[in-house]
Amino acid sequence: MLEGLFQPLHLFVVLVVVLVIFGPSRLPELGESLGRSIRAFKKGLEEPKSLASPKADQQITDDTKA
């Protein structure tokens, strides 16, 4: 189903469409924001759950004691 989805011609067409929609002046901005988003997503996946919500962990331990 996804065979040939990433052929060079398809990627070129997508690049041209993005260039027409956003214009050449906004492409660096879009690339930078996409990079920041990916980095934040990866950082969020790597953080331990206990740092994300210590209150929720305390509530879970209180519930299991009762």
pLDDT value at residue 56: 54
pLDDT value at residue 35: 94
pLDDT tens sequence across 22-56:
888 888 898 899 999 999 999 988 876 655 555 55
Distance CA 43, CA 41 (A): 5
Where helices occur in 1-66 by DSSP H, the ranges are 8-22, 27-46, 49-52, 54-65
Amino acid at 29: E
pLDDT value at residue 41: 93
pLDDT tens sequence across 3-22:
777 788 988 998 899 889 98
Of 26, 25, 29, 49, nearest in space to 37 by CA: 29
